[in-house]
Structure 1
Amino acid sequence: AVTIATNMAGRGTDIQLGGNVEYRVDDELRDMPEGPERDAAIAAIKAEVAAEKAKVLEAGGLFVLGTERHESRRIDNQLRGRSGRQGDPGLSRFYLCLEDDLLRIFGPDTLFSRMMKNNLADGEAIGSKWLSKAIETAQKKVEARNYDIRKQVVEYDDVMNDQRKVIYEQRAEIMDADAVDDVVLDMRNDTVNAIVGEACPPGTYPEQWNVPGLKARVSEVLGIEPDIDAWLQEDVIEPDIIEERIREMAEAKVNEKATQVEEGMWRSIEKSVLLQSLDHHWKEHLATLDALRQVVFLRAYAQKTPINEYKREAFGLFERMLEVIREDVTGTIMSLEIREPEVPSLPELPDFLTTHFDPFTGEDNSADIDGGTLGTVAATLPPRQSPMPEASEELFSGEISRNAPCPCGSGRKYKHCHGKAA
C-alpha cells in the first residue's frame, strides 16, 4: 500500500505492518453480536493480518520516501523513525534537488560549482558523505535562524507581558475593592502636583512661572477658577502653597458632588469611571506598542539594538499612559453632573383619539376634552353598555329580524338593543 502525505504524517501512531487487528475488528464487526460467529470472524482477520505482515516483511518492511529535506533535522529524523518500528525491518531514503530552497539559499557558496564540474548527466544521482554533510550544515543554519526569530519574539512579548501584569493586577484590586476613593484621591493629588510642577518648576522665581498656562490647565482638568493672581501678590508664595490650595478647592468640589447622591451610588460612579478609563487607555497603549514594534528595527541602522530601544520606548509610553489615566479620571469626576432622571412626556395622540363624536347626536365634543390625554379621552367616551334610547311601541309593531338594525335608531342590531330586552 502507498500513502502520499504532505510534510510529515504518522507521528504518534504505530504503523503496524500488515494492518491493525483492533481497528479492523471495530470497523468490520461493529454490528455483529457476541458469539461463536464473531469469534470466528476475529480469528479470520488475525490470520489475514499475519499473512499480509509476512509478505510485507519479505518485501523489506515500511519504506519512507522523502522528496526533499526539511528545514529542521528533527522532522527528518521523525520521518525516518516511521520505518523500523517495534523491531520491524524498514528503510528510509530522501531525494533532493540542487534547486531546492534549502540548498539554494542556505547551502555552501561553492556547492553548485563543485557539482557542475563533475559533468553530471540529467537525472544522475549524487551520493557522497560530503554532500550529506553540506545538507546538515544548511539545516543547522536554518535552525539557528528560526531559533533567533523565536527568541526575539519572546523578548518583545516579555516587555508587553510585564506591563500587562501590572495593569491586570491594578484592575483586579479595583474590581475587588468596595470603595476606590483612596485611589481616586491619590490620582487627583498626583494630577494637581503634575500641573503645578509643569507651570512652576522647582528652583524658579514667580516671575518665571507660566501663570496663564497654569490657569488654563486647572480650568481644563479640574473645572475650577482659583484666584492665582491674588495669591502671587502675597509676600511668601511657593509652588507647594499653590498646590495645596488647588487641592483643597478640588476636594471641596468633589465632596459637594458626593453629597448629592447616596454613598453607595457615589462609590459605584467612581469605580465605573476608573475602570472605563483604565480599559480605554490600555487598549490604545497596546495598539501603540504594536505599531512601535513594526518600526523599531529601523534603529539598527543607527547602530542601536532594536530590542533595547523597544524596551526604553515602551517604558516611556507606559509611564505616559499612567499619567493620562490619572488626569482622565480626575477630569471626568470633576466635570460630571448629577441630575435627576426626567420623566418622559406622553406622546401626542392622533386626531382620531383626541376627537370625540357623540354616537347618538353625531356632534363633535372634542372641545370638552381637556388636554387630549388618553385618560381624559377614555373618560369622555360612552360606556360599553350605554342605556337604550326610549322608543314608542309603534316602531316595534311588526316582526323584526334579530340581525336587522334596531328601529330605535341607536345604530346597533335589534338583538343587541331592544331585542335583547324583549
Structure 2
Amino acid sequence: MEPRNPDDLAALREASDVLAIDGLLTSDERATRDRVRAFVDAEIRPHIADWYDRAHFPVELARAFGQLGVLGMELEGYGCPGRSAVEYGLAALELEAGDSGLRTFVSVQGSLAMGSIHRWGSEEQKQEWLPRMARGEAIGAFGLTEPTAGSDPSSMKTFARRDGTDWVLTGSKRWIGLATIAQVAVVWAQTDEGVRGFVVPTDTPGFHATVLEPKGSMRASIQTELHFDDVRLGASALLPGARGLRGPFSALNDARYGIVWGALGAARDSYEAALRHALRRTQFGTPIAGFQLTQKKLVDMVVELQKGALLALQIGRAKDAGTLRPEQISLGKLNNVREAIAIAREARTVLGGDGVLLEHSPIRHAANLESVRTYEGTDEVHTLVLGQHLTGIGAFR
C-alpha cells in the first residue's frame, strides 16, 4: 500500500471517516457544511495566525457572517436563516476549525443575544434588533457572568431598581464577549421581582465596556468587563417573557449545544495538521507516519473524533426533534471539549518543535480550547449536572 498523499485533503478526510458518518447527513446538511467550510478556507485560514498573533478581531467579518447565513441560524422569522440544529452544528464545527474565537462570535451573537431577544423579547424589540443582527449590521453582547458570579449566576449582584416607569441598572459583568464593538447588550440583573433581562443599547449613558487583555487564549476574539453606573432604561427595555434564571439558562443551553459541535472542528483541524505533517516529515529514512508510536497517536485522535461526531449528531437530532434535555447537552460539552483539548495537545507533539509556531494550528487550538472548556459551564459544573441526573441528589452546595 502506498503512503497517502498529504496534499489530497479530501482523500485524507474520507479515510478518517471510518464509521461513514458523512453518510448519516442529508444533502442539505452537507451543502451547508461545505458552504461554511469554503468560507473558512477562503476568508479565515489565510489570516487567522496573524489575527491571533496581533490579538485582532476582524469586525468586518460580522457582515460576512450575516451574508453566510450563520447569525441566529436556528431562529425563525425577522430575517433569520431558520435552519436546523444539525445544520447549525455543522456550521459551528467548520467555523471552529478556523478558530474558536470566530465561532464564539457567531455563538454570542446568534445563540445568546439574538436567541434571548427572539425567545423572550417583545415584538418591538424583535423588530428593532433581530433583522439587523441577522445581517451582521448590529452586534450584540450577553451580560450574565460577574467578577464574583461565574458558575453560580444566582449570586449575581448587578441590580435593576424601579424608578417610576423606568429601571436604573447598577453593577458589573465580566468575561462578556463583543461588548466594546456591540450596539446592544442583553443584560441580566437582580430585581425586587427576581432575575430579569434587559435590552440595553450600548450608547446608553452610564454603560461602560473595557477589553480584558492581554490574553493567552482566544486572542482573535474580544472579551470585556462591563460597568453600569446608574444606567437609566425605559420600561420598553425589559424582556417581558423572561423571569428568573430560566431566561439566561435557555440561551446558555443553545450556546453549549454549538460548543458540542464546535470543539470537534478545532480537534479535527489539529488532527489533520498532525496527519499531513507526519506524512511529509521524514526521519530515520522514513515518514514519521510510518512509526508505530505516531500511528497510535493518529488512531487515538480519530477514535475520539468519530465518537464525538456521533455524540454531536445524536444530540443535534434530538434538538431538531424537540426532545433534547439539559443533561444531554452537558454530556456532549463535557466530553467533546475535554477530548478536543487532548487531541490538540497530542497533535502538537507530532509536529515537534515546529508545533509551537503559529503557522501550525494545534497549539492555537489547544490554547483556545482552554477557554472553551471554562465558558458556558466548566467541566465541574457539567459533571455535577450529570451527577444530579444519575443520582437524583444535587451536589452544587
Give me the TM-score of the superposition, normalised by structure 1: 0.20
Structure with bigger gyration radius: 1
Give the number of the structure whose residues are more often helix, by fraction: 1
Give me the TM-score of the superposition, normalised by structure 2: 0.21
Give the number of the structure whose residues are more often strand, by fraction: 2
